[in-house]
């Protein structure tokens, strides 16, 4: 699976492959722990396309536009 965070399944551990956003947005996501090869899990999806992601003990809300630019895969 090499899909966007927006379309990945709920409750499955996934690994970030790449983030296709401007450097300033990648920098902020990096500060929040969203880095290549980092493992996360989508725990909630909203009707407007956003989602809530579990990263360790933290829960982070991501808007739909950003979620479409974070590419993930299920780790092997």
Per-residue model confidence as pLDDT tens digits over 3-38? 899 899 999 999 999 999 999 999 999 999 999 999
Confidence of residue 2 (pLDDT cuts 50, 70, 90): low
Summarize pLDDT for 40-71 with one digit per residue, the tens. Answer: 999 999 988 899 999 989 999 999 999 999 99
Q: What are the extents of the domains in the chain?
A: 3-73
Structural fold of domain 3-73: SH3 type barrels. (2.30.30)
3-state SS class at 17: strand
pLDDT tens digit sequence for 31-42: 999 999 999 999
């Amino acid at each position: 699976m090499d899909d966007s965070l927006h379309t990945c399944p709920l409750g499955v551990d996934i690994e970030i492959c790449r983030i296709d956003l401007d450097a300033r947005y990648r920098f902020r996501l990096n500060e929040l722990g969203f880095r290549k090869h980092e493992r996360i899990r989508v725990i909630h999806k909203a009707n407007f396309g956003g989602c809530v992601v579990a990263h360790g003990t933290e829960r982070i809300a991501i808007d739909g536009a950003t979620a479409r630019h974070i590419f993930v895969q299920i780790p092997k």
